Amino acid sequence: MNNGLFDPVIVSFVFTPLTVTGAVLFALWWRQIRDCRAELDAPGLLLTLAVRATPEARRNWGQAMLAELETVHGGLARWRFALGCARVALFPPPGETLLQPAERSPVFGMLSVALPPLGLPFIYFAAVILEAIGGSPFTQSSRWSNPDAVMIMVKTLVLLTLGCLVAGVPFGLAGWLRRERMRWLSAMGLILSVCIFAYFLTAMRFLSGGD
């Protein structure tokens, strides 16, 4: 396909926030596991990190899962076991001792970090699909037989994208106010959302000015 959607400038504009966020999270994760990464394989590292985020009252269950993983052999079996256990370590069943606000699972914090960088790729893939099925106003094509339907789809997708871009603010605030575990995630989500939205506005101005 020969249109603006595959222009390297557009592609890099769309995927930069996602790549940067992924790199920052990976760097934080790598730093957190520095003391055990020589001894453990990838499933072990993943579970170790998840267990570090386990609430204090459930930490012994995290240690139990880690010890059990040492007896699981075979790549696939280890991955399956580690992934299942990581989910339990991050979101253990609530108990009576876990009802203090400080022990809440970081659901909102995770959403606040995950959603903003997904906003731009989301609308990009929507534009690619629209183009593939018959043209979109984004690429100035007139092959679509029902332009009104395209416009409704595009408007919906733009709203969803904007929703993703700014989602870090409400989710970050909610995570912070709920006193979730790993509150730094909520703070990161808030900052990320503001930065990516500003980046989006600046890049759009730059791209539209360049035409």
Partner 1 sequence: MQRNRLPSEQTKTVLLALAEDPTAWRHGYELCQQTGLKAGSLYPILIRLADRGWLETKWEEEIPVGRPPRHLYRLTEVGLEQLNEIAAEKMEVAKAKRVRLRPQTEGAS
List residues binding partner 1 (CB under 8 A): 58, 60-61, 63-68, 70-72, 80-81, 83-85, 87-88, 92-93, 95-96
| CA 37/CA 31 separation, integer angstroms | 10
Q: Which is nearer to partner 1, 13 or 81 (CB)?
A: 81
Backbone angles phi, psi at 104, to 5 degrees: -75, 145
| C-alpha pair distances (Å), 100 with each of 29, 104, 181 | 26, 7, 11
Cβ 45 to partner 1 shortest distance, Å = 16
Q: Which is nearer to partner 1, 41 or 68 (CB)?
A: 68
Cβ 82 to partner 1 shortest distance, Å = 8
Cβ 61 to partner 1 shortest distance, Å = 6
Q: Which is nearer to partner 1, 8 or 93 (CB)?
A: 93
Backbone angles phi, psi at 99, to 5 degrees: -85, -5
Q: Which of 33, 35, 27 is nearest to 49 (CA)?
A: 33
Cβ 89 to partner 1 shortest distance, Å = 9
Q: How far, rounded to the nearest angstrom, does the alpha carbon of residue 132 sit from its chain's CA centroid?
A: 26
Q: Which is nearer to partner 1, 1 or 76 (CB)?
A: 76
